[in-house]
Structure 1
Amino acid sequence: MEFSDQVKQLRQQMGLTQEQFALKVNVTRQAVSNWENNRNLPDIETLIVISQVFHISLDELILGGTDMNKMTEKLIQDGSEGRRAKMNMVSTLTGAFLMILGLACFLIKANSVEYIDKQGILHENFYLLPIGFAFLFTGFLVLLTTTTCFLVRKLREK
């Protein structure tokens, strides 16, 4: 059963008007009307209040039976989008951090002292150059991959 049908049926079983139900749930009558006409869906906090008003479990309210309805699909999509956004943020921060490490290697190399000791051996921290390039390149690849995946996903949604 669709969420819209379920809310309407439960509201009518309790003998409530849309206005009375809206007051119990702390929303407007228009919001209830939109839910019942399948134009909009409530957020998770409102779902909890609705389940308490109707004295039913969230599972029963959201799933409405064995078939997936629009509410279930919305919750799955919202969770998926949240995880995807979090992963994009972590990837972007990782790429930026790697690039900053690469630049730090170059700064340390540029400001370090190079000298020749009594035995004629040159002391130089040359290893910082390839490490710096590796960090910069890896950070750039991470940012490029993250951006490409994001843009491809956006194009597929259109």
Structure 2
Amino acid sequence: MKFGERVKAVRTSAGLTQEQFASRLGVTRQAVSNWENGRNLPDIEVVIALSKTFGISLDELILGGEDMTHDSGETNSMADKLIRDGSEGRWMRMSLAMSVVGAVLIVVATVLAVVATNSVSYVDASGVLHEDFWLVPVSYACAAAGVLVLLVNFVAQLRRRKRMTGSYRPAR
């Protein structure tokens, strides 16, 4: 049984119309119709609400009490969607972390460059030169590392977009 058929079975066994069912879940009747007809799948939050509201286990609702592959070899679209959503969430968190690290490295490089520019070098009474010479190369290294991290993140995003949509154009 497909996910849409399971949703319809839950709704009809509760004796509800699509409108009543939608109202109890906080969605539109059209959303319920789309789920039941296999045109769309709900988000995980809605699936959990459906499970709690109608007392059906998530295993039964998502997998139908079966393995993820049916006799016909067809995969379970709801389980596939949940796997894709989880993967997408992990990818977005990693990409955000890389962007933050790259930006922080560039900010540190900028601060070090400003400090190096404004630092005073002097020769003390014993003839020793006091200079913060290390600030300049460390600043360059931080800037290069920050740009590299941002560039790697950008290329990874382009490759992921191409793999998912088949082109580098933004998905609409």
* TM-score of the two chains, using structure 1 as the length reference: 0.91
**Secondary structure in structure 2 of the residue aligned to 1:42:** coil
Q: Which runs of 5+ in 2 are unaligned?
A: 69-74, 166-172
Say if 1:66 and 1:116 are closer, same or farther in 2 by CA, change over 3 A.
same
2:133 aligned with 1:123, yes or no?
no
Q: CA deviation at 1:86?
A: 0.9
**Percent identity for Structure 1 against Structure 2:** 50
The count of corresponding residues between Structure 1 and Structure 2 is 158
Match of 1:46 in 2: 46
Residue deviations 1:25-50 (CA, integer Å, cap 9, x gap): 33332221111101111222321232
Greater helix fraction, Structure 1 or Structure 2: 1
AA matched with 1:6: R
Instruction: Please list, as runs of the form range in 1=range in 2, the aligned pairs for 1:82-101 lying within 5 A after superposition.
Output: 82-101=89-108
**Secondary structure in structure 2 of the residue aligned to 1:126:** coil
* Larger RCO, structure (CA 8 Å, separation 6 or more): 1
Q: Which runs of 5+ in 1 are unaligned?
A: none
Match of 1:141 in 2: 148
Q: Which moved more, 1:36-45 or 1:128-137?
A: 36-45
CA distance in 1, matches of 2:43, 2:11: 18
AA matched with 1:41: L
Q: CA RMSD in A?
A: 1.6
2:84 aligned with 1:77, yes or no?
yes
Q: Which moved more, 1:61-70 or 1:29-38?
A: 61-70
Match of 1:11 in 2: 11
CA distance in 2, matches of 1:27, 1:118: 79
Moved beyond 4 Å, runs of 4+: none
Q: Which moved more, 1:100-109 or 1:47-56?
A: 47-56
Q: Which moved more, 1:44-53 or 1:34-43?
A: 44-53
CA distance in 2, matches of 1:105, 1:53: 57
